[in-house]
Amino acid sequence: MTNFLLLPIILPFLTAILLMFAPKNIIYQRTLTMIGLIITTGCSLALIQIVHTSGIQVVTFGNWPAPFGISMVADMVAVLLITTSVIITLFTVVYSFKSIGIAREKFFYYPGVLLMLTGVNGAFMTGDIFNLFVFFEVLLMASYLLSVIGGEKKQLRESMKYILVNVVSSALFVITVALLYSVVGTLNMADISVKIAEINQPGIITTIGILFLVVFGLKAAIFPLFFWLPSSYAAPPVPVLALFGALLTKVGVYAIMRTYTLFFVHDIGYTHMILLVLSVLTILAGCIGALSTFNVKNIIIYNIVIAVGVILFGVAQMNDTSMIGAMYYLVHDMLIKAALFFLVGIMIFLTGTENLRKMGGMMRSYPSLAWTYLIAAFGLAGIPPLSGFIGKMLIVKGGFEADHIWSSIWILLSSLVVLLSVIRIFIYGFWGEEKRLVAVEKRQGYWRLYIPATILVAITVFYGVGAEWIMPYMRDAADVLLNPSVYTDAVLKE
């Protein structure tokens, strides 16, 4: 049964390999991708229930005992994020059938998507810090393909920036892992936690903790390391943007969350205060960016930056309430960002422009799209009873419990900025006189974009309204994060 936990990594990988045998056969590509993702979704949902009822599941390769073998660890944090990632990828693939274009589909688009999912799921599940680097590289190499697929001038220009930032980040990652290994003499994450506890986190370990914050902060786009994100994410097609926005930065957030709750927990007055300050500045930077642009893609992209700050603010509190909130908000943000990118992608598809000033009056022709977008926008801004409200409320409550009063108030005020930024899209895009729509023949097939977007919005609504049923799983995840011994005992007893 323990080998079952590897299926969310193995299935996308094997499906991607099979897809490469017939890259020009569109029916084969689409059908096999859907079958692989549906089976992976079922396995991921089953894994959540297994972990909830039976506890953390661990596989250590080669029958070596931990920490000598490479461990894969399915705790509630990992399986919730894996399941969310697989669901988002499934809907993105359905959305891609109409939006990505035949030329891109024939150029290894679906293998790229599945290999990126393999890297994302592996990063969430690995129990080895060097393997975390390996899975980062897997997802990054796939993302390089997806960022340039189609070969448009803007994509190629911006992909160079994206690749350069990640190459530098990866080099620093390896150096930091080497420094950590030189101090603790192990790469197993559970064993690292035990070793650091034994030596009570001397100054060198705290320094390594800050280096990890730089490494993962580049990938998560925290202040001031988010400079590459808006233009790099805006260049690829909308389905690729949805995958990047929903998944890639969240792997960086997860890596900060995992290391700052498992490793660097003995000097939180220093490390976590830096994390708190950077999270607040990240929210401020995202708010300024979201209000300063009239590009619909960039408004939602800057809201990614805001959400990263909110989640890490919750992590920095290191108390039960805020950690549950951070975990809940992380899953919420992955779902809602994908849904919003789908919806603004439909707006771009119908109008032929990304510029809000050139849109208008779509309410008359597409009222259902308008109201669906408004529900998603309210969810992002945290209007009750939608999912954004519950996660943010818990994070702010945890901030007050930790006596971070002013920064918690700033989190609440930032919700107004988020609401203003996304309501601008609604007002400019759907109200007023109808300014422009592309020719009727080009709008055909609109429903093939609208259906996956609407279902994903409905999932986010259920995620908020059904929070009572979801909270036990979030408490399991927070318990693992706040009590490192739960994780280390599960891994090292193997």
% of residues, the chain, pLDDT over 90: 40
Residue 86's pLDDT is what?
95
What does the pLDDT average to over 281-290? 91
Non-local (6+) Cβ contacts of 45 within 8 A are 83
Do residues 330 and 310 touch, judged by C-beta distance below 8 A? no
Residue identified by tokens 């994509």 is 155
Residue 256's pLDDT is what?
92
Please give the tally of structural domains in the chain.
1
Q: From 276, 446, 272, select the one nearest 345 (Cα to Cα).
A: 446
Beta-carbon-side half-sphere exposure of residue 31 (alpha carbons within 13 Å)? 5
Per-residue DSSP letter, 318: -
Do residues 439 and 339 touch, judged by C-beta distance below 8 A? no
Is 412 strand, coil or helix? helix
Burial class (CB in 10 A: 0-12, 13-18, 19+), 36: buried
**Structure confidence at residue 120 as a pLDDT band (50, 70, 90):** very high
With the CA atoms of 126, 38, 19 and 133 taken in that order, what torsion angle do they form, in degrees rounded to the nearest 10? -10
Do residues 307 and 337 touch, judged by C-beta distance below 8 A? yes
Integer Cα distance of 467 and 488 in angstroms: 29
Domain range for 119 is: 2-492
Residue 445's pLDDT is what?
74
Cα 215 to the chain's mean position, in Å?
Answer: 16
Q: Is the pTM of this model over 0.75?
A: yes
pLDDT tops 90 at residue 284 = yes
Do residues 23 and 108 touch, judged by C-beta distance below 8 A? yes
In this structure, how many other beta carbons lie within 10 angstroms of the beta carbon of residue 485? 12
Residue 23's pLDDT is what?
81
Q: Per-residue b/e over 151-167, b at no fewer than 16 CB within 10 Å?
A: eeeebeebbeebbebbe
Residue 108's pLDDT is what?
86
**Structure confidence at residue 69 as a pLDDT band (50, 70, 90):** confident
Own/partner contacts of 441-445, CB < 8 Å, gap of 24 or more, are: 442/352, 443/349, 443/350, 445/98
98-112, 290-304, 430-444: least confidently modelled range: 430-444
Non-local (6+) Cβ contacts of 462 within 8 A are none
Angle, helices 249-262/203-220, rounded to nearest 10 degrees: 160
Residue 439's pLDDT is what?
57
